[in-house]
Structure 1
Amino acid sequence: MNLDLSSPSKAVVSVTQLNRDVRMLLETGFPSLWVAGEISNFKRYDSGHCYFSLKDANAQVRCVMFRGRAALLDFAPREGLQVEVRAVVSLYEARGDFQLTIEAMRMAGQGALFERFEALKKQLAAEGLFANERKQALPHFPRRIGIVTSPAAAALRDVLTTLARRMPNIEIILYPTAVQGADAAKQIARAIAQAASRNEVDTLIICRGGGSLEDLWSFNEEIVARAIAACPIPTVSGVGHETDFTMADFVSDVRAPTPTAAAELVSPNRAELLQRLSQLKQRQLRVLQYQLQQRMQQLDQLARRLIHPGQRLSQQKTDLHNQARRLQQAMRFSQQQRTQALARQALQLSYARPNPTLIRPVLQQKQQRLQRAIQRMLEQRQQYLKQAQLQLMPWDPQQVLSRGYALVSRPNGQIVRSALAVRAGDALQVRFADEQISVEVRQGIIQQPELEL
């Protein structure tokens, strides 16, 4: 903001304008930066926004963290907690309060540790230690469960209490180790290797209670991660609270949000199993009772159908007697039916049989009529024949021959119709009205030469 003091009217600005210009100057003049301090006067409103002060030994500054950013935190901010925040320097215009608008928050000292955590996580992931293919399934009914933790840890009491409540008959073997401190990571790895070499448990729980990132750092060491990866026993990681994630969680076969949850994952619920067994027992009893009732009914039905052999023979004898009586009745009825049918047919035939005394005069009359008809027909045919003879008589060859004609033919019967067909030396047959003679031609007809005109 540029103020021109030479003109009094231009130098006068409103408070609103002043605060706005100062806010713009702060937000543009300072980049986003990390600030370390202790949380004081922390309040989270129903809206989800968080308001607090960040202080050190000599100063403090007001801070605001809006709901969207606060929801991304993996821990719960509280009074007196040492944190590091990434913030934008700003000004609350309504009251002119200098404040920091928080964009991210982490536990104090987590920057370097977080970088180490991310680097190791990336390395182990590249080696395949987090791959699902190498994860083992937990046994449904383990006989022994191993626990890698401190004997004085509250997490051990939680796990033992949960296991005793859920399945008290499971044997527990403790592999004691420190879970916090400079040498804790080596002790944890040694305890895991001991459990693997002894191979006396079905499932191994690696657990401890909640704490800061530094408190849980032993479970982020590479030696612990590789010991878990090399363990042939199915492993369950139950380190810290639900929002805490360690390298052990990623390498283990199963990650539990808390030690108590780890105990619940590895142990079947005895009460639920007993209830389930009771339900199965009741169901089986109902099934058996139903089947028994069905078989009893079937037995009763078979018993009703079962008949003594003597009674069966008596029944069959009665049935045979009834069948014989019915057969005799049927035969008599059939004979009666046929007798009646034969009588009806005989009556019908008696009506159809002719009476010779009545029919003989009729037959004689018809015989006389037939003889007269035949006689008339013969006379008519004779008359027709005579007329036909008279009509054919002029065409009779014999009649022609009797008038002086002769019929000339060759020996084979072929008629000679012209003298031109005859040659000297031909043998001919000449038939007269009364006889036939054979002749030989001595001279044929001499043909006259045709005159030329």
Structure 2
Amino acid sequence: MLSVSQITSQIKNILESKYRFVSIQGEISNLRVPFSGHSYFTLKDKNAQIRGVLFKGNVRYLEQPLQDGQQVICRGRLSVYEPRGEYQIIVDTVDHHGSGVLQAQFEALKASLSAEGLFAAEIKKQIPPFPSSITVISSATGAAIHDFLKICSNRATSATISVYPVAVQGEKAASEIANAIERVNREVKSDLIVLCRGGGSLEDLWAFNEELVARAIYNSAIPIVTGIGHETDHTIADFCADLRSPTPTGAAEAIIPDTAALISVISNQVRSMSRALYTKLNFSAERLRQQKRALKGYLGKVDHAALRVDAVTERLHYSLEQYFNQQANRISQFYLRLQNQAPLAKIKMKEQHLNHLRENLKRRMVDILKQQEEHLAGTAALLNSVSPLSTLARGYSIVQLESGSRGGKVVTDSAQVREGDEVNVRLHKGRLLCVVQSRVNNDKEDTD
């Protein structure tokens, strides 16, 4: 049995872990901005509504002030306000324009390129079943490249994998991606190009919807596979690519053969063929025995045939043994060759990845230090402005009961004390221990 607090806490953990980033479109209503500066409102459509809060620190990033009746897209995370048992969206950014314009641009470009034949199935290049060299064009630090390389490592591929780092979001991302595709075609001997990027909003994936990238994919002589976003995301690059995978992980699984699975399939086929042959031989032998009993007058012929069957059976056994030994040797050689080749490819791949991580770490450390210095300065100024000590310095004081069961309680109303009570008056510098001689309520002396 769970208490209300326990079940609410469990719901909060489930909701916040599953919906770490959401985009919700709706109309703002019941907007409130109290003294704290935070914005509280309801985001609704004709069938449902959800509470939203935009904290004061993010208000300054708005393109325009929030107003009731606005149609917006709020991006943030879902949370549960436990005291009331209500779920709400903690808003990070507000888009006042929405994705309608971008969606229209997407559909227009899609229709135009489709009419030109850039998406035609007959121009798609065949994906090599066992690529020996793969070039991945992606962000060197994103989760997408890590997911892709993890699948490659798990499948022990002998292919050489090179990472070509580019920006996958922002104004320069499209040109960097297009230039990378052209440069790999011109300078790198690669069997396959993979475009990778993790999930995001339409705006986040927009670099892969640019015409510049679409034409670079179309003009590529090297087959291109895309693994962009989530399963529900579709970009112009996906339509142009020779193979579209729903995710970066899916792209790796589609182009990297599973060595262990191949060996297992071959072994199963060998065993299946062996069982089929032995079954057929046993069936033939049994039929021969039945015919031998039925044709008693032809025992000599049957015996001769039996000898021939035995001879053929021995030759077949020998041939099968030779064949199985040859196949086992080929499998062993193939497995050893994979083992000998895979570590070198892994080392080279890890070395490239480590170099990218080292450079990114240096840049990131400098950026983080600068951001933390600015944040610390701002936080210090904000703390100083709301510090109780600043209030005391302006001549105010804090009165607390000195003893008894109510000792330490802050006095905000004269009705909280009685005559003779000891109170502690805290000043900007020092304290005063005082005794209440009389009380005054509503500007009149209390005679109680």
Q: What is the TM-score normalised by the length of structure 2?
A: 0.45
Structure 1 or 2, whichever has the larger Rg, is 1
